[in-house]
Structure 1
Amino acid sequence: MSETLDIYSLVGFLGTACIIGAYFYLTAVERPNPWVLHGTNLLGAAFLTISLLVHTNWPSLILEGFWAAIALWGLAKAWRGKRRTHDEAREA
């Protein structure tokens, strides 16, 4: 591997660090905050997608699309849960 690292590779490494960090957070914390967990995963998927658009690897690019979709679904679920809790508190 004699390629020099360009900015897109470094962005990809940052994305990898985000996803690994989110997985570590999920494993290490008793009750993970969904905003931190899914937000970090979404950020990681975005960084990796930027890298993969330049250094195309189709299976990895598709994986990042699913990774981002799952993170967005998790954030939407957290937002709905927060709204539900807020509405229940208002009714009480």
Structure 2
Amino acid sequence: MSELDWASWVGFAGTACIIGAYAYLTLSEKPNPFLLHGTNLAGAALLTVSLVVHTNWPSLVLEGFWAAIAIYGLTKALRTGRKGQEREA
């Protein structure tokens, strides 16, 4: 078994960000979109660094879409000035 290199550790940090953001969204009554989308964007960026070193094209494309959605969410939150989203019933 080979040891993990720096790019793999960066990828694990990105994975932790995305899992943490999903847990935050699931567990929070009124998630802060800046925290949610910012953490998702950071996770996508960290995973992209890892995937550039250890290329996996399907995962790299997924991270591109993940980042784009996070940027859209941040932009929408900036435009509306929302710090917390109301849950729809």
TM-score w.r.t. the length of structure 2 is: 0.90
**Counterpart residue number, 1:81:** 80
CA distance in 1, matches of 2:62, 2:16: 16
Cα offset, 1:4, TM superposition: 1.2
The alignment covers a number of residue pairs equal to 82
Q: Cα RMSD over matched residues? A: 1.0
Select the structure that is richer in helix. Answer: 1
- Greater RCO between the two (CA within 8 Å, min separation 6)? 2
**Counterpart residue number, 2:62:** 63
- The runs of 4+ residues in structure 1 deviating greater than 2 Å are none
1:44 equivalent to 2:34? Answer: no
Identity percentage over the alignment? 71
User: Structure 1: where are the runs of 5+ without partners?
Assistant: 84-92
TM-score w.r.t. the length of structure 1 is: 0.87
CA distance in 1, matches of 2:26, 2:64: 23
